[in-house]
Amino acid sequence: MAAYSLEKIRNIGISAHIDSGKTTLSERILFYTGKIHAIHEVKGKDGVGAVMDSMDLEREKGITIQSAATFCEWKDININLIDTPGHVDFTVEVERSLRVLDGAIMVLCGVSGVQSQSITVDRQMKRYNVPRLAFINKLDRAGANPFRVIQAMRDKLFLNATAVQIPIGLEDQHLGEVDLIRMKAMYFEGDNGENIREVEIPAELKALADEKRAEMISRLADVDDKIGEKFLMEEPISEAELVAGLRRATIALKFVPVFMGSAFKNKGVQPLLDGVAALLPSPTDVPNEGLDQNKGEQKVAIPSDPTAPLVALAFKLEDGRYGQLTYMRVYSGSVKKGDMIFNIAAGDKKIKIPRIVRMHSSVMVDVEEARAGDICAFFGVECASGDTFTDGKQRITMTSMFIPNAVISLAVTPKDKAAAQSFSKALNRFTKEDPTLRVWRDEESAETIMSGMGELHLEIYIERMKREYNCEVIAGKPQVAFRETISAATPFNYTHKKQSGGSGQFAKVQGQMEPIVPLNLEAPYEFVDDVVGGTIPREYIPSCDKGFQEQLKKGMLIGAPVVGVRMRLEDGQYHDVDSSDIAFRIAAQAAIRECYMNAKPTILEPLMKLETQAPEEFQGSVMGQVNQRRGVIQNTSNNLGYVTIDALVPLVEMFGYSTDLRSATQGKGEFSMEFAEYAAVPRNVQEEMVKKYQEKRAKENK
């Protein structure tokens, strides 16, 4: 592969709400950049399916499950492109892609506009400070209105979003776009829109084009000093100055240029590629930081320089036909086939690189070297997702990505005992590939529990076990990830004494159990050491902390993990001979058991953000269904004969919702759902759950 100058590289991702046309757009980008020579649709009748959906399951369901990487060239720019899933169950694919990308294209539907998953994607882009362009797609559809979508981006996403194009006609009259930077009209002709005819702006659109161009310059002047100065002085702004201003403001995350078109009808994709080249950052425009392990995790800048020492991040693992494939973003330095690299996260483990490839969806292209700014895949690199590699000259790790908590669990067992080995192999591989899939063994019921982001997430993995490992799985009833917490502070004072000939056990702990307000699930437990005067020797303080944590793994209401608890250890007593590490651990555990019920414990359940769309005539029955499921409706909006209902609904009530919705709306209803927060269950529901748990325990103890 030719070595590109870093300024000519763009590492971008395509993200959006499910069904906004991300994969269709990726397919058109590959076609116009000459990477593929025929266009296939996501749910095409030719049975081929989109190139970027390489899994059979993706082609069957018409959805993207795994992020797919490819590379292409547009004019003199080399683009590394990652197409990400839109479905919230596969949100980790978006997280890990955005973690390593320099820029992104946010795709929005010209009819539906900003949807629930668009808000999630926006939050993810902000989390990793990723500059983005927006592409309003599907302008050929009935009811498309790009200016309403731009207003929604400003109102719901709080983005300084402004059109850099306006459409020439909408719905079945959509013929092309007007470029507001160059003030030219573009018509897309030929079988696949490959020929662009540029002409003067039609007379009927001239006034709108002037108005929208003035709006673009005015909003840009608010966030860019150079353009602002010229704007105030009323000096003319040249095309080059305008592009430079748009680029500066986009990279500074102060502006979102909005492009438009219809990927399906082959309109507006080439100007979007021009926008990627002109407005999104190259690797040198994005500051990267690492943590120096030799200097107590001090933050250090990582230069985007192929001659600097190597720093690379493994962001995705895939088990292919030829063994594990590790996708890496090279931030600094370069690595050649046969080089030695060191895994800093695994204690500087030394690994030799046998093969480096660039991925075009599932097709591999061998390369000799990966340099700063490249996204490549390496064979023979055993590691976990999120590990950092260097050439041994420095010990630097990159900051890790955000991994959301699992909200739903299934008990799974192989149907055939002979398939047990394949079953554990599959689970091993999937948990390595996907950090949001967690597998653990419930000691009480002796079951293997698989936890994930939603029903579809677990369903896909069960289906993959069957297809890829020939292992049929019996899945139990879905279990929701309940939590327990406390709502009142309560003191504890417990003495553990045990004497049975020889040395005994003695430990006394005293302090306060307090709720953490507000509840933070990322830091669900705190330990405060307020012991003074040596009443508990220093070496036994960690034993108390350990004992508290062990006891909080299972609450006393329904046996769920306890979160939002601060254990404050204030006093205690010890015995020179009889006190020990184990004695203080037992005392700490018993102290919680004794005071837990006085702390007014409550059960927390995951609430889901539900967005349901259905024809208006079914509005009553859809709202009725949401209410029946203990849902709280937050917003309803009507648009072109369709109603959109936003609600917060407990996950435990959502099983079987898709079937009920389809039957209530003659198959026309759609919904998307994502985790919102944990909230206390109503008192009557809590009493019922506690009663059931106690009955189950009584049965087990018989």
Give, for 258, the enclosing helix (H) or strand (E). Answer: strand 256-260
Question: Residue 131 has what DSSP assignment?
Answer: -
Per-residue pLDDT at 453: 79
| Residue 541 neighbours by CB distance under 10 Å | 16
DSSP-derived 3-state class of residue 579: coil
Q: Collect all residues with Cβ–Cβ distance below 8 Å to 289 and sequence separation of at least 6.
A: 299, 300, 301, 302, 399
DSSP-derived 3-state class of residue 698: helix
Beta carbons of 277 and 10 less than 8 angstroms apart:
yes
Q: How far apart are CA 521 and CA 356, in angstroms?
A: 39
Per-residue pLDDT at 257: 96
Cis peptide before 287 (omega within 30 of 0): no
Q: Name the maximum alpha-carbon separation found in the chain.
A: 102
φ/ψ (deg, to 5) at 542? -60, -30
Compute the half-sphere exposure of residue 268: CA atoms within 13 Å on the CB side of its CA. Answer: 31
Q: How far apart are CA 450 and CA 431, in angstroms?
A: 10
Nearest to 567 by CA among 582, 580, 552: 552
Q: Collect all residues with Cβ–Cβ distance below 8 Å to 436 and sequence separation of at least 6.
A: 91, 92, 403, 404, 406, 452, 453, 457
Q: Collect all residues with Cβ–Cβ distance below 8 Å to 188 and sequence separation of at least 6.
A: 175, 176, 194, 195, 196, 266, 267, 268, 270
> What sign results for the dihedral spanned by CA atoms 126, 127, 133, 136?
negative
Beta carbons of 607 and 649 less than 8 angstroms apart:
yes
Token pair for 35? 């990477």
Beta carbons of 678 and 483 less than 8 angstroms apart:
yes
Per-residue pLDDT at 444: 60
> What sign results for the dihedral spanned by CA atoms 457, 461, 462, 463?
positive
Look up tokens 């927060």; give the residue. Answer: 677
Amino acid identity for residue 283 in this structure: P
Per-residue pLDDT at 40: 59
Beta carbons of 267 and 165 less than 8 angstroms apart:
no
DSSP-derived 3-state class of residue 489: coil
φ/ψ (deg, to 5) at 92? -65, -30
> What sign results for the dihedral spanned by CA atoms 319, 320, 321, 322?
negative
Using alpha carbons only, give the angle 143, 146, 149 rounded to the nearest 5 degrees: 95
Beta carbons of 196 and 179 less than 8 angstroms apart:
no
- The phi-psi region of residue 278 (left if phi > 0; otherwise alpha if psi is between -120 and 50; otherwise beta) is alpha
Q: Which pairing describes strands 256-260 and 132-137: parallel, antiparallel, or unpaired? A: parallel
Per-residue pLDDT at 127: 85
Compute the half-sphere exposure of residue 1: CA atoms within 13 Å on the CB side of its CA. Answer: 23
Task: For residue 337, give Cα distances in angstroms to 149, 341, 362.
Answer: 47, 11, 21
- The strand ranges marked E within 293-343 are 298-302, 311-320, 323-332, 334-336, 340-343
In which residue ranges of the chain is pLDDT below 70?
1-4, 37-68, 85-89, 320-322, 361-362, 443-445, 500-502, 702
| Residue 396 neighbours by CB distance under 10 Å | 24
Q: Which pairing describes strands 670-680 and 132-137: parallel, antiparallel, or unpaired? A: unpaired
Could you tell me the pTM of the whole model? 0.73
Per-residue pLDDT at 38: 64
Per-residue pLDDT at 674: 78
- The strand ranges marked E within 17-138 are 68-74, 77-83, 103-109, 132-137
pLDDT tens per residue, range 399-438: 777 777 777 788 888 888 888 888 988 888 888 878 888 8
Task: For residue 445, give Cα distances in angstroms to 18, 449, 512.
Answer: 37, 10, 33
Per-residue pLDDT at 443: 67
Amino acid identity for residue 222 in this structure: D
Per-residue pLDDT at 49: 42
Beta carbons of 496 and 594 less than 8 angstroms apart:
no
Per-residue pLDDT at 44: 45
Q: Which pairing describes strands 68-74 and 77-83: parallel, antiparallel, or unpaired? A: antiparallel
Q: Collect all residues with Cβ–Cβ distance below 8 Å to 696 and sequence separation of at least 6.
A: none
Token pair for 483? 């939590």
pLDDT tens per residue, range 355-399: 898 877 667 888 888 999 888 889 888 887 788 999 888 888 887
Q: How far apart are CA 301 and CA 351, in angstroms?
A: 25
φ/ψ (deg, to 5) at 234? 55, 35
Give, for 211, the enclosing helix (H) or strand (E). Answer: helix 203-221
Beta carbons of 583 and 505 less than 8 angstroms apart:
yes
Amino acid identity for residue 361 in this structure: S
